[in-house]
């Protein structure tokens, strides 16, 4: 564990530029070699079976600094979230690197995470398991046809909301490492009772609104999915396969979102307005035709009023 811990610390420090005293031709830590192997190492460091107790990293850093512990969580943040501005110092002591990474996926820009967030009391569990049914969520294309707009929220996978006909979803980059990352985070949630199920809930929700490549294309045009994985069909297949035979307890926030979406879709006015927009306002030509028709109708009314008034004046 000491050897693995030293290797992990050295890889992360070198990859983020904190250390650069290796020869350019070093077989592991040389800058050109590291550029090639760092993505694979970062992926393997998230495998559940490869998790090293992060306490080992804390102690190694303390030994190196004469008893002073630098924040290993911040090192993980710089390695996995190089563009992220939020500080991981608020996360406190975690279990392992995957635990830190998962919490990073869920953090909102303005929130401060506390250790007690991981613990759920008996009353909370009763509320969650008391919900036996949930509304059926349609695909993104169907929701769009029902008048629902999609907008990006933040990078936090928990930041899903619905209000005033707008469904806000977190921005996600889908690439070759996405499947492995989600599978390991979801497995960790299932095996660790205090981790809860936020990542699994997010993936399940995305599986519900993504049925095919048209749904992915719609979310891509709205800036929600950044596809660096392949075709839109491949992304749809990825999300659909992640949730095969996956069951999870109810998630209070997403249950509320699904309920509000379902109520929105049931209202006749919203359906009629969406149908009108889809039929008459989809292209500029149909809008011009409708405007011309309304203008001619207004002229006809004005002519009729003028004729009546002239008749009474005589």
What is the C-alpha to C-alpha distance for residues 81 and 2, in angstroms, rounded to an integer? 25
The answer to whether residues 258 and 134 touch, using CB atoms and an 8 Å cutoff, is: yes
Residue 265 confidence (pLDDT) above 60: yes
Rounded (5°) CA angle 141-175-256: 45
Most confident residue range from 136-150, 184-198, 213-227, 274-288: 213-227
Q: What tens digit of pLDDT does each residue of 4-58 get?
A: 999 999 999 888 888 777 887 788 888 777 777 888 888 999 999 999 999 999 9
User: In Å, what is the CA distance from 305 to each residue of 16, 293, 294?
Assistant: 77, 18, 17
Tell me the domain boundaries of the chain: 2-118, 128-268, 283-314
């Amino acid at each position: 564990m000491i050897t693995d811990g030293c290797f992990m610390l050295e890889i992360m420090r070198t990859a983020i530029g904190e250390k650069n005293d290796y020869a350019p031709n070093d077989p592991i830590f040389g800058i050109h070699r590291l550029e090639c192997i760092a993505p694979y190492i970062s992926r393997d460091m998230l495998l559940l079976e490869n998790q090293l107790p992060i306490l080992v990293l804390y102690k190694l850093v303390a030994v190196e600094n004469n008893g002073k512990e630098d924040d290993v969580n911040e090192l993980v943040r710089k390695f996995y979230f190089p563009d992220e501005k939020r500080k991981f110092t608020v996360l406190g002591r975690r279990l392992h690197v995957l635990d830190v990474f998962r919490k990073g996926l869920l953090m909102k820009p303005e929130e401060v995470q506390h250790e007690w967030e991981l613990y759920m009391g008996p009353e909370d569990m009763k509320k969650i398991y008391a919900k036996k049914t949930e509304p059926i969520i349609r695909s993104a294309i169907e929701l769009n046809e029902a008048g629902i707009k999609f907008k990006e929220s933040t990078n936090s996978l928990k930041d899903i909301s619905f209000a005033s006909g707008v469904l806000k979803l977190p921005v996600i980059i889908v690439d070759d490492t996405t499947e492995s990352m989600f599978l390991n985070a979801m497995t960790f949630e299932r095996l660790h009772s205090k981790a809860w199920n936020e990542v699994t809930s997010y993936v399940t929700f995305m599986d519900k609104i993504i049925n095919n490549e048209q749904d992915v294309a719609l979310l891509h045009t709205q800036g929600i999915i950044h596809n660096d994985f392949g075709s839109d069909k491949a992304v749809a297949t990825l999300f659909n396969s992640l949730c095969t035979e996956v069951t999870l307890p109810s998630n209070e926030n997403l249950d509320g979102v699904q309920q509000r979406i379902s109520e929105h879709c049931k209202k006749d006015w919203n359906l009629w307005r969406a149908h009108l927009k889809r039929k008459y306002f989809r292209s500029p030509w149909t809008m011009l035709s409708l405007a011309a028709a309304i203008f001619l109708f207004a002229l006809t009314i004005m002519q009729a009023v003028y004729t009546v008034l002239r008749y009474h004046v005589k």
